[in-house]
Amino acid sequence: MNPEETLDLVTSVTLEYGPKLIMAIVVWIIGSWIIKLVVRGINAVMEKGNVDASLKPFLCSLAGMGLKVMLGITVLGMLGIEMTSFIAILAADWFSSWYGIIRNITKLRWRCNDFTFQTFQGWRCN
């Protein structure tokens, strides 16, 4: 490959992907700034609502991480990376996690019912 062909290749790739990369960086910076504002707003609302002090950092970090994941998916989509399968994997993971949590809560409830039935001769904790 001679230098002229290399220069033409670099120029064409730069013209094709350069604007996408710049826009993705701009969206990442602005999105990160907006996420910080939203998390601060959530924290302020929880301060006014007298939410438990141990719950506030958890909920703020949960909201922040969720928004950052969505921002990352958006930026990668802007760069031309297909995110459909990744989103499907996230949805399956979310569904399986909540299914496991609900299943364990249901088992705990039935164990509570069995314990109270045996202990208190028919009382149920509903």
* CATH number of the domain that residue 59 is part of: 1.10.287
Determine the structural domain holding residue 113 and report its residue range: 84-126
Q: Are residues 89 and 113 in the same domain?
A: yes
Q: Are residues 57 and 102 in the same domain?
A: no
Query: Could you report the per-residue pLDDT of 17-53, keeping only the tens digit for each?
Result: 888 899 999 999 999 999 999 999 999 999 898 888 8
Q: Are residues 116 and 101 in the same domain?
A: yes
Q: Is 80 left (phi over 0), alpha (psi -120 to 50) or beta?
A: left
**Chain-centre distance for alpha carbon 3:** 46
The count of structural domains within the chain is 2
Query: Could you report the per-residue pLDDT of 42-93, keeping only the tens digit for each?
Result: 999 998 988 888 888 888 998 999 899 899 989 988 888 888 887 888 788 7
Q: Are residues 18 and 72 in the same domain?
A: yes
